[in-house]
Amino acid sequence: MQLILTYIIFLPIVTAILLGVFRAPLRVLKLGAFFSSVATLILVAILTYHFNPQEGIQFSQNLPWIKNAGIRYFVGVDYLSLVLLLLITFLMPPLYIYMYHENRKGYWFNMMMLQTGVTGAVLSLDLILFYLFWETMLLPIFVMIGKYGNGLRQYNSMKIVLMTILGSMSMLFSILYIGYIYYEINGVWSFALNDLSTLSFNAKTSIWLAAGFLLAFAIKIPLVGFHTWMAPAYGSAPTPAVVIMSAIMAKLGIYGIWRFGFTLFDTTLSYYAPTIIVLALIGLLYYAVRAITEENLRKMFAYSSGSHLSLIALGLFLNNIYAWSGSLYFVATHALASAGIFIMIGLTYKRFKTVTITELGGIASHAPKFAFFFAFFALSIAGLPGTGGFVGELLIIIGAFKANFWVGVFTATTMLSAMIYIFWMLQRTLFGSAQNICEYNDLSAREVMMLLPLVVLLLLTGLAPSLFTPIFEPGLMTSLETVLAHIGALK
């Protein structure tokens, strides 16, 4: 079990390298990518079985890498990273099934590289190592949008890269300066999170260092004001890249604040909390309005995703157990629902060669299975009772009311606004008048098999949340108590 995290991180990219070196034929490449994702999922299932929710970092591996600079290969998993790890490995096999007819080899290599990047970022406990994996995620997205996307794909790929690099550079500056402070105090370099968490900074220094991290994570989420790359990128990217961006990479912005923000700057984040809460509340309403007025399905659900990610970010800064539990639960359930709906939008384009709402209609009467899965995932995004999204949203709303009545009122509008634009969209696409579409092909058995696990898990998380909350509740309570104790001591 000591090397299990290393296997989980590097199995996809090692598979890609081997298949590339030996110039594997396309069919072998497809099978290799799929079975590497299945093998990784099995390893994560074994890890989850042996995971102890009462303990902190587990299955860690801490080896020197660049000794003179204090950079280490330091990886480990706790309740927070386990939730993201389960999401990543659970979503990859369905994505590869979706890509079954994709015959461009570079597509498959980039997806395997992307899996290693996001997995490594989630499991890294050395800040330089985290930064390297953080940047590794960007290259495959850049290639997939710029080379395999549509519309203004090169412009949009460059825009997301430039904005992400802006955030990454600010984070890197903060990381290097924190490492320098550690060196000045202890005489040795270290970028290990457990070492750096022992440091204390003066108020001004802490505010600037925290800003470096927050800028990177605000762009990745994205919070309103840092979002201009989002809708164009979602509109131009191929479906698997959109799924990764919405279901996983955006959640890594939340994860980064949780992991590094509250570990290194928990008291300083209280300084930024009012600003982020205001941005999140504005985002809830702004993104919802943009979703209502959007005719392109991908862009509509991009704005929908922005609204719900603003809700998650809001819960994170309310500092009570309802909001924190809801945010973490909603990270997982929203990822499942957004993956499902973007896959359905991809299937819509494959069938009808359009994702414009006004050019669709009458799908339910011609393709009932397609309509069922499309409606289910869309309503799950909106927080349909009985699905996991409802549980997460409800907990955040309760936490918002606990923090402040008016914040709770504004937060509660999320469900209402989501229902408005979701039902308006469904009425026109599924139940509207039939358009001039040649064929309404229903879902194949392969496509149903691809989508069914997402449906089952969304129902389980909605109907039986007690099956999942024991994984993270003990660790979440401990983390929250630590943060509140530090903030209380500061006051």
Give the pair of three-digit tokens for residue 412.
Answer: 């509660």
- The domain in which residue 449 lies consists of 265-491
Q: For residue 73, what pLDDT is reported?
A: 95
CA 448 to chain centre: 24
Q: What is the tens place of the pLDDT at every residue in 275-297? A: 999 999 999 999 999 999 899 99
Output the six-digit token pair for 30. 């497809």
| The pLDDT of residue 486 | 67
- Give tens-digit pLDDT for 436-491: 665 678 888 999 999 999 999 999 999 999 988 888 888 888 888 887 776 665 55
Confidence of residue 353 (pLDDT cuts 50, 70, 90): confident
The 3-state secondary structure of the chain reads CCCHHHHHHHHHHHHHHHHHHCCCCHHHHHHHHHHHHHHHHHHHHHHHHHCCCCCCCEEEEEEEEEHHHCEEEEEEECHHHHHHHHHHHHHHHHHHHHHHHCCCHHHHHHHHHHHHHHHHHHHECEHHHHHHHHHHHHHHHHHHHHHHCCCCHHHHHHHHHHHHHHHHHHHHHHHHHHHHHHHHHHCCCCCEHHHHCCCCCCHHHHHHHHHHHHHHHHHHCCCCCCCCCHHHHHHHCCHHHHHHHHHHHHHHHHHHHHHHHHHHCHHHHHHHHHHHHHHHHHHHHHHHHHHHHCCEHHHHHHHHHHHHHHHHHHHHCCCCHHHHHHHHHHHHHHHHHHHHHHHHHHHHHHHHCCCEHHHCCCHHHHCHHHHHHHHHHHHHHCCCCCCHHHHHHHHHHHHHHHHCHHHHHHHHHHHHHHHHHHHHHHHHHCCCCCCCCCCCCCCCHHHHHHHHHHHHHHHHHHHCHHHCHHHHHHHHHHHHHHHHHHHHHHC
Check whether 406 has a pLDDT greater than 70. yes
Provide the whole-model pTM.
Answer: 0.93
Residue 491 pLDDT:
53
Q: Is residue 450 part of a domain?
A: yes
Can you give the pLDDT at residue 287? 93
- 212 within a domain of the structure (yes/no): no
- Give the mean pLDDT of 86-113: 92
Alpha carbon separation from 159 to 22, 38, 164, 225, 379 (Å, rounded) = 35, 33, 8, 15, 31
pLDDT at 88: 94
- Residue 47 within any structural domain of the chain: no
* Separation between Cα atoms, residue 192 and residue 177, nearest integer Å: 13
CA distances to 1, 29, 451 from 36, rounded to whole Å, are 18, 10, 20
Distance CA(427)–CA(438), nearest Å, equals 21
Quick check: is 482 in a domain?
yes
What average pLDDT does range 381-396 have in this prediction? 91
Residue type at position 187: G
Residues β-bridged to residue 201: none
Residue 112 counted as domain residue: no
- Check residue 436 and give its pLDDT: 60
Distance CA 136, CA 115 (A): 10
Q: Are 318 and 400 in contact (CB under 8 A)?
A: yes
Mean pLDDT, the chain, as a whole number? 90
Predicted pLDDT at 112: 94
Quick one: pLDDT at residue 270?
85
Domain count, the chain: 1
pLDDT, one tens digit per residue, over 3-57 is 999 999 999 999 999 998 888 899 999 999 999 999 999 999 999 999 999 888 9
Determine, yes or no, domain membership for 239. no
Which of the four pLDDT bands, split at 50, 70 and 90, describes residue 71?
very high
**Tokens describing residue 240:** 């698997």
CA distance 241 to 229: 14
Q: How far apart are CA 121 and CA 130, in angstroms?
A: 5
Tell me if 119 sits within 8 A of 9, measured CB to CB: yes
Distance CA 239, CA 340 (A): 11
- pLDDT at residue 434 in the model: 66
Q: Is residue 341 part of a domain?
A: yes
Length of the chain: 491
Confidence (pLDDT) at 150? 85
User: 8 near 40, Cβ under 8 Å?
Assistant: yes
- Percent of the chain past pLDDT 70, that is, above it, reads 97
Of 111-120, 225-234, 412-421, where does the model show the most confidence? 111-120
Q: Is the pLDDT of residue 196 over 80?
A: yes
HSE-CB of 416 using CA atoms within 13 angstroms: 7
Q: Does residue 100 sit within a domain?
A: no
Q: Per-residue pLDDT averaged across 362-366, rounded?
A: 83
